[in-house]
Chain A
């Protein structure tokens, strides 16, 4: 029987959906439920990871330490994971203390073509005896040959898995199969996949990834994540069971966890809004959605126009300042007629 490790992004990617206003109560309620369901890895933190709370991408309500401490207290079976992007988080400012709070798995991420900035963070994690994964974000912006080259770097740095993220929700299943298949055939470490649902492909793409050889799949309960949300974790558990893929997760408990997210944490259930669909089509980071909506309102321009313009400029995650710039330019254009 095929086995897959499900890594739960609810309390990390979901942070985008709340504009990073996760509370302690949210974390307690969900961590207990995820732990009870037997979800192997539970990520916690700001949507852009450790040390990312900022005016650029959004300020967290809780600081990193409070989030990790709270989660750690309520996870016993599940391992505690964090997302770390070099350029935001430094070893001295951020990563060093994360280990004091009992982090088990560090997912060191970079834009899909910049893997070499992850060397020191991955090495440092391994030196602490903890598990390090490499994460290539916005992976639709590179072809499979480039992704393999970057993944090989992460593997050499000591990453024990390499996860490619469809951060914009831009993939169709054959795109996933193509990339994941190529990585799985050429890496010694397991390949993972992280879906977004902007084009309605969250589950389909996750299934395609497993069929192509992925061994780690990210999901979020009720799809709670940036933009149109992630691959819906409880649906994934059910679908994988149908396909004979073992996750080790208790379906009823996973459903309970999803109900808790819907009832106690989320403001609105993720859906494919017009803006999210455009975000997927234009290949722009799903996490931009709330910023784009705010800017559209502030400058009285069409959010869809902002997304397409950002896509044309090939912006990457972390470039949220471009949103204001583009919105201002569009406003000027309208004024000038």
Chain B
């Protein structure tokens, strides 16, 4: 099968992990891995894997716009705001893994098809990729939902300096995504860092206040949703099935990373990257089938 060319912009943990996932994909091919510094850890990895690299940042893509159809932007929100119009001008689709929030939010298990027409797709947050699909099912299956709350706990080691400095943005973006997809006007997101050794896997719990609970419909909807997500995040597992207790609905999932670049405790990094790959692969399919 002919593979679609993608470039990865940003050679940090997210970008490097994505590279491994692209290499595994039967529909994608990494034609360029772009950073700012040839001696960085990510760049050395890419070089050792025989990937074409550049240290010229966005300029590398401007110099050779034919090199790819899709760019994964794994830099920062500030940089993405500069990259976005440039890439749009070049007619290149961007899958945005920064918290810049310029494009529409995408959860592959919910609105993958709808995102295909967009040139800039935003992957929200790691906790959002884990929790929003569950919140969406609550919204779809229940008549009235008063409140939804999503709590993620991640291993300390999987949260780098940028994540730590931007906890507020993480919370506010995740809350926005939960409200948007569930249709519930009141939502709260909480993030815990747990330093236990050995590192814990990412765990996300979703609570809801539902006055007239339809548990069978919820259970059925969640089972279907989990299966959908598992197609692109194989280690997404329901560990507390939808349960009604103490006047609240509770359910919990655990995400183990694939251990591509960071060890398996970094399920948070894995889930957002897996989702981004799912979007890119769908673009690839659409192109092959002539849908786009």
> A314 and B196: CB pair below 8 A?
yes
* Nearest A-chain residue to B247, judged by Cβ: A55
Q: Is B17 an interface residue (CB 8 A)?
A: no
In the complex, the answer to whether A321 meets B252 with C-beta atoms within 8 Å is yes
On whether the beta carbons of B248 and A321 are closer than 8 Å, the reply is: no
Query: Besides A55-B248, A116-B165, A313-B196, 8 other CB < 8 A contacts?
Result: A54-B207, A87-B191, A90-B172, A114-B195, A141-B195, A314-B194, A321-B205, A328-B240
How distant is the Cα of A313 from the Cα of B167 in the complex, in angstroms? Answer: 24
Bound-state Cα–Cα, A312 to B208, Å: 29
The chain B residue with its CB closest to the CB of A91 is: B168
Q: CA–CA, A315 to B155, complex, Å?
A: 11
- A–B pairs, 24, beta carbons within 8 Å: A54-B151, A54-B190, A55-B248, A56-B207, A86-B167, A87-B191, A87-B193, A88-B190, A90-B167, A90-B172, A92-B172, A93-B172, A111-B192, A114-B156, A116-B164, A117-B164, A120-B168, A298-B245, A298-B246, A314-B196, A316-B192, A324-B245, A325-B240, A328-B240
From B149, which residue of chain A is reached at the shortest CB distance?
A55
Residues of A282-308 whose CB lies within 8 A of B: 294, 298
The A-B contact count (CB < 8 A) is 95
Q: How far is the CB of A293 from chain B (nearest CB, A)?
A: 11
Which chain B residue shows the least CB distance to A53? B188
Residue of B nearest to A315 (CB): B194
Whether A54 touches B149, Cβ cut-off 8 Å, given contacts A88-B190, A319-B192, A321-B203, is yes
Question: Across the interface, which residues of A come within 8 angstroms of B196, CB to CB?
Answer: 313-316
Contact with B along A111-143 (1 / 0, CB 8 A): 101101101100000000000000000000100
Does A318 reach chain B (CB closer than 8 Å)?
Answer: yes
Smallest CB–CB gap between B155 and chain A, Å?
Answer: 11
Nearest CB in chain B: distance from A142 CB, A: 8
User: Are A119 and B190 within 8 A (Cβ)?
Assistant: no
* B161 interface residue per 8 A CB criterion: yes
Listed residue (B167, B171, B172, B205) with the most chain A CB atoms within 10 angstroms of its CB: B167
Name B118-174 residues within 8 Å CB distance of A: 147, 149, 151, 153, 156, 161, 164-165, 167-168, 171-172
- Contact indicator A319/B153 (Cβ below 8 Å): yes
Secondary structure call for the B interface: strand
What is the minimal beta-carbon distance from A87 to any residue of chain B, in angstroms? 5
Q: List A contacts of B205 (CB < 8 A).
A: 56, 321
Q: What CA separation (Å) do A149 and B285 show in the bound complex?
A: 51
- Minimum-distance CB pairs A-B, first 7: A314-B196, A55-B207, A321-B205, A90-B168, A318-B192, A113-B195, A87-B191
- Which residue of the partner chain, among B167, B207, B239, B248, contacts A117 with CB atoms under 8 Å? B167
Our pick among B195, B203, B239 for the contact of A111 (Cβ within 8 Å) is B195
- CA of A172 to CA of B168 in the docked complex: distance in angstroms? 36
Q: Is B240 within 8 A of A324, CB to CB?
A: yes
The interface residues of chain B lying within 8 Å CB-to-CB of A117 are 164, 167, 193
B250 touches A324 (CB 8 A): yes
Residues in A with CB closer than 8 Å to B250 are 55, 321, 324
A313-B196, A321-B151 as given contacts; A90 in contact with B190, CB under 8 Å: no
Closest CB of chain A to B196's CB: distance in Å? 4
Q: How far is the CA of A117 from the CA of B165 in the complex (A)?
A: 6
Of B172, B192, B248, B250, most buried by chain A (CB within 10 Å of CB) is B192
A135 to B227, CA, bound (A): 42
Bound-complex Cα distance A314 to B164 (A): 21
Q: Does B209 contact A (CB under 8 A)?
A: yes
In whole angstroms, what is the CA distance A157 to B156 when docked? 20
Residue of A nearest to B169 (CB): A90
Contacts of A316 in B (CB 8 A): 192-196
In the bound assembly, the distance between CA atoms of A113 and B193 in angstroms comes to 9
Given A56-B205, A319-B192, A113 contacting B168 (CB threshold 8 A): no
Residues 135-167 of A, flagged 1 when their CB comes within 8 A of B and 0 if not, give: 000000100000000000000000000000000
A128 nearest CB across to chain B (Å)? 16
| Contact call B190/A120, Cβ cutoff below 8 A | no
Whether B190 pairs with A87 at a CB distance below 8 angstroms is yes
Chain A, Cβ-Cβ closest to B150: A56
What is the bound-complex CA distance between A120 and B172, given in angstroms?
15
B205 → A minimal CB distance (Å): 4
Q: Which residues of A contact B168 (CB under 8 A)?
A: 86, 90-92, 120
Q: Are A87 and B240 in contact (CB under 8 A)?
A: no
A119 to chain B, nearest CB (A): 7
Contacts of A86 in B (CB 8 A): 167-168
How far, in Å, is B177 (CB) from chain A's closest CB? Answer: 15
Known: A114-B156, A117-B167. A56 touches B246 (CB 8 A): no
Closest CB-CB distance, A121 to chain B, in whole Å?
A: 9
Alpha-carbon gap, A90 to B240, bound state (A) = 28
Q: How far is the CB of B95 from chain A (nearest CB, A)?
A: 26
In the bound assembly, the distance between CA atoms of A128 and B149 in angstroms comes to 30
Distance (whole angstroms) from the CB of B131 to the closest CB of chain A: 12
CB distance from A151 to the nearest CB of B (A): 16
Within 54-100 of A, Cβ neighbours of B (below 8 Å) are at: 54-56, 86-88, 90-93
A74 to B144, CA, bound (A): 40
Cross-interface CB contact of A319 among B161, B194, B245, B246, cutoff 8 Å: B194
* Complex: A319 Cα to B202 Cα, angstroms: 12
- CB pair A87–B167 under 8 Å, yes or no, is yes
Q: Is the CB of B192 within 8 A of A87?
A: yes
B:67-116 near A, CB below 8 Å: none
